[in-house]
A and B are shown apart, each in its own frame.
Chain A
Amino acid sequence: MNNPNNNGNNKGSSTLDSISKEIEDRDEQRKLQQLRNKEIHQQTQIDLSNSNNITKCINEINQLEKEIENELQQIDLSTSSKDSTTTPLTIDSIKNTFNDIEHKIATMSLLLAESNHFLPLFEIKNLNLTISNVQKNTNTLKDKVIPKQKFSFKRAAKSSTPKVTNNTTIDTSIPSPAVAPLVDNESIFDNSNIKGFNGKELVYPPTATTSTSSSSDTINDLLISNLVDCKVILKMKVLTACKINNIKNCTIISHSPIDGSIFIDNCIDTTFSFSSRQIRIHYSSNCRFNIFVKSNPIIEGCNGIKFSSYPHRQLQLTDQDYSRFMQYNFDLININADTEKYKDVNDFDWLQTKPSPHWELVKEEQE
């Protein structure tokens, strides 16, 4: 532009430059717009997820943490001051306090688990850290004060320290493929396994009499397999994931919402009643699902599957279970999602637009 006598080549490159600049500018603006959109999106999400709940949950956990720290301090003081005059009585009371502390830690992780879906990632990280710190402090002090009790402690802490339980359960459960089918014939009914029963009614957790209840009614990984003619009722407080396979002519009912996915494989003539975040049904036939679900259920390789809504009125839920179900339900309304997701079943074997012949909707059962 400054030098009109120059050859056209220069001019051409300058227009090219300006064009490329324009393109770059436009890209930049687009990026900014995207960022802004994302921000707005995030903001609305935070608004909707009820900040009251968040602060309440954090406060509660922090409160528990403080109480535990206080108790730990007291134990530490009392043991270090009268080292020589320890009597069995004080040891008993110390044990009691430790039990109490373990309960509190379990409640803390339970609270966190329950509020996982509405807490911001950062808070979850923080709270996890707090809990593991408290756990560590308790462990070290306990080792110091009552070293012999180390083993029984590990057991009681099951629900709050999954890492510890990993080591104990895994060694037996890794399947060497050749052995696995043999083991299947055995009947097992324990913390994370319901397997190999015939014509029984199973209520889970077994009975509320076992004193270590806090660990047995917060199960986060349940496996139900190889049942015939059984009725299974699940009543634990917290259940995160559930895998079900090889079931014939059974009824499986869960009174509590399942916070993760249910994976169902190879079931025949069975009725399921669940509320859950995700349901996946594989290679099953003639089953009925009374479900409340937060995402679309899927079926693969299935036939004769019936869906209807979760019969929470007929289940005669306890007040606690009912309030949990409503809470679960409420979360969903909160994020403006569809409450009737169970009607939109995705069939992996049916890509046509007309309805799949493998499943149908039915009315809620009247009993």
Chain B
Amino acid sequence: MKVTANRLDNTAKELLIDVSEYEAPRPFEEVVKLVSQLKSGEYIRMLHRKEPLPLIQMLQENGYECRMFPGQQVEWEIIIWNSQDISVQEFCLMNFSNSPAK
């Protein structure tokens, strides 16, 4: 698994994880692991071939926000961040809230 970190501006650092070629439930395992290591100022961009609805439900139940939209390289891109992290929350809401629905 490859996680790429990019700081997009002064407020948010993106952790990119491509799980589009992993068999179920490995995408789930890898993202949950990454979420548990998420630091202040970071959010996750997950690339996947499926809509991971149970994962999104579980993350939402545990205080994370998710946005899902059609990807450029793969079928789906999912943005995940901790809703308690104010700076990332603002950044993500500004940049991903109007992502087109598929």
| A complexed with B | no
Measuring CB to CB, which residues of chain B are less than 8 angstroms from any residue of chain A?
A: none
Measuring CB to CB, which residues of chain A are less than 8 angstroms from any residue of chain B?
A: none
